[in-house]
Amino acid sequence: MAAIEISNVSKSYALNRKSSVTALQGIDLSVAQGQFVALIGPSGCGKSTLLHLVAALEAVSAGSILIDGEPPAALRDQHRLGIAFQDHALLPWLSVESNLALPYKIAGVAVDKARIKHLIELVGLVGFEHARPSQLSGGMRQRAAIARSLCLDPALLLLDEPFGALDAVTRMRMNIELQRIWLERRPTTLLVTHSVEEAIFLADRVIVLGGRPGTIVESIDVPFPRPRPVELMRSEEFHRLTDYLTVLLEPSLR
């Protein structure tokens, strides 16, 4: 069974009583267990909308989505979804440690202090356990947000532009960190990003969306073995794939 099965999914929004806009149309996508898939496409093509549908934050207008054979809402209610957005959404009055304890409290289960300690070590925040978000750098806040998304050992990890607000150098460092963190457990992952380089560096597959309504233009298997060193980004093969995907995003460059 595929981890995610998206079948002929469309999503429309009412603008007023007489008109609507279609954000996604006829999306078919199957994601294998433990696969890291990146979604790229121009602004407004429905990348984040698709992620929200998978997260059960919105309902499909047509078609179906199954995660491990169940509707997304079932996974959400079982607290088996891990989500991190561009806005870290850490509670400003809580420490890093307390923010990581929050998923356990929401799920109504005992706080796993050993797991929290391990995740803080994994994301490199040892020594900042009692710091509040305002006392952390942007990259450190995103590390804490990713750690929090992993607390309940999710079956599915959803990442919506988690590093979009960071400068280029910090973003590259966070890509390296995310790869290291992901390799520990290899959860099935969907990443929405505007960065072609980020998608290639992190993902097993890159899905290119285009147009409005959003449709899948192409699915590309990334050929590079893991772990991927930062030097890969300077290789001829990496640049060739980056150029190919960039042209898919902007046909006028052909």
**Per residue in 23-72, pLDDT tens?**
999 999 999 999 999 999 988 888 999 999 999 999 999 999 999 999 99
At residue 223, the pLDDT reads: 96
Category of 85 on φ-ψ map: left (φ > 0), alpha (ψ -120 to 50) or beta: beta
pLDDT tens track for 60-77: 999 999 999 999 999 888
Q: How far apart are CA 9 and CA 27, in angstroms?
A: 5
At residue 98, the pLDDT reads: 95
Q: Give me the half-sphere count of Cα atoms (radius 13 Å) on the Cβ side of residue 133.
A: 17
Whole-prediction pTM value?
A: 0.90
At residue 14, the pLDDT reads: 84
Ranges of residues in the chain whose predicted pLDDT is under 50: 254
At residue 218, the pLDDT reads: 93
At residue 254, the pLDDT reads: 47
Order of strands, sheet of 188-192, starting from the edge strand that comes earlier in the sequence: 81-85, 156-160, 188-192, 36-40, 205-210, 215-221
At residue 253, the pLDDT reads: 52
**Angle CA 209–210–215, to nearest 5:** 65
Q: In this structure, is the dihedral angle defined by the CA atoms of residues 36, 41, 43 and 45, taken in order, positive or negative?
A: negative
Q: Nearest CA to 116 among 159, 150, 157, 158? A: 150
Determine the residue type at 131.
Answer: A
How far CA 229 is from CA of 4, 79, 180, 235, in Å, comes to 28, 33, 11, 11
At residue 244, the pLDDT reads: 93
Q: CATH top-level class for 1-14+31-80+190-254? A: alpha beta
